[in-house]
Amino acid sequence: MAQQTPLHASHIAAGARMVDFAGWDMPVNYGSQIEEHHAVRRDAGMFDVSHMLALDLEGADAKAFLRGLIANDVAKLTESGKALYSCMLNEQGGVIDDLIVYFLSDTSYRIVVNAGTADKDVAWMQQRLAATGTQAKLCVRRDLAMIAVQGPNARAKTWAALPGAEAASAGLKVFQAAAFGDIFIARTGYTGEHGFELTLPVAKAAATWDALAAAGVKPCGLGARDTLRLEAGMALYGNDMDESVSPLDAGLAWTVDLKDESRDFVGRAALVAKSASKQTLGLILEDKGVLRSHQKVIAAQGEGETTSGTFSPTLEKSIALARLPLGVAAGDAVEVEIRGKRLKARVVKAPFARNGKALA
């Protein structure tokens, strides 16, 4: 039986269509996925992301441990609440997961990992803690729920729903978080829009969801979340990268920090030994059809493959992220093989849309 988030009853009461996602019973939409998508681009929408997992790492060696665990360098984090996006790699340089780390102090960090990889991630971290003899403890926080509020009016409507939250969070910059009582408010998201991700006690989840709805924030499901993140050029674990794919090939080289040559992290040697063999770019389909994942792309420089694809409500065209041969550039014409036919597409740089505007 699929697991349920603390907001499951709220979704059922709102008439959500529920689907199994990574072993969780989650809302895919509440009626019109297109309307939910536009609500986030134009106003404010909210997503239940409680299936994702928060982990707290605390101890004298917490900073040193993370510097050796992930490809980005947490030493760059010096201000409490500041966050960092990174990949956690295996020894071969493949991506075990992509995650966010929040710096609370040199001995205290919060890590948020994906739902589908949560158990694997915890096991890997515990294994590394034991192998390195680290003086730090990893705490699994299933006592917390998470709600993402996204869109140009998301912050104002969150403040209307949570009296007092504005004073605690108005000055937050992107990828920065602060505590508001027992609510952790972060200026992060997965849509390409401004907004917050709220981490809060399970007991407060339903009332907070209802307060946000009363403030005019539209409930949105996984369907809109996927079209929004793809328009924003954001990678999805399992589609755009996995344990067989290097971040260098997945368009995530910017998350790898090799500046400090004395810092050794899991997968570093593999990345240094092998440069990128592919690149990740965007595609816009010019013929009629729909781009999906794992479709062959034919370019003058060789063959590639779409990794994520969908219909873009903002562009009103089919779009995709694709892993393409080196040498392919924005503006190039390529063909995508769909159901035995080769359809014309144009290469672009992602993102396709962000902050309410079409960019491609």
Interval 311-333: pLDDT, tens? 999 999 999 999 999 999 999 99
pLDDT mean over 169-188: 98
- Give the C-alpha separation, 33 to 270, whole Å: 41
| Residue 112 confidence (pLDDT) above 90 | yes
Domains of the chain (ranges, CATH numbers): 277-358 (2.40.30.110)
pLDDT-derived band at 231, boundaries 50, 70, 90 = very high
DSSP sequence for 5-28? -TTHHHHHHTTPEEEEETTEEEEE
| Residue 360 confidence (pLDDT) above 90 | no
| Residue 252 confidence (pLDDT) above 90 | yes
- Give the C-alpha separation, 61 to 54, whole Å: 19
251-285 CB burial, b ≥16 within 10 A, e <16: bbbebbbeeeeeeebbbbebbeeeeeebbbbbbbb
Instruction: Please tell me the predicted confidence (pLDDT) of residue 234.
Output: 98
pLDDT mean over 340-357: 96
- Give the C-alpha separation, 229 to 232, whole Å: 5
Phi, psi (rounded to 5 degrees) for 282: -95, 155
Instruction: Please tell me the predicted confidence (pLDDT) of residue 1.
Output: 82
| Residue 171 confidence (pLDDT) above 90 | yes
Please write the tens of the pLDDT for every residue from 38-89: 999 999 999 999 999 999 999 999 999 999 999 999 999 999 999 999 999 9
pLDDT mean over 265-277: 95
User: Which H or E run includes 301?
Assistant: none
Closest CA to 94 of 236, 243, 277, 238: 243
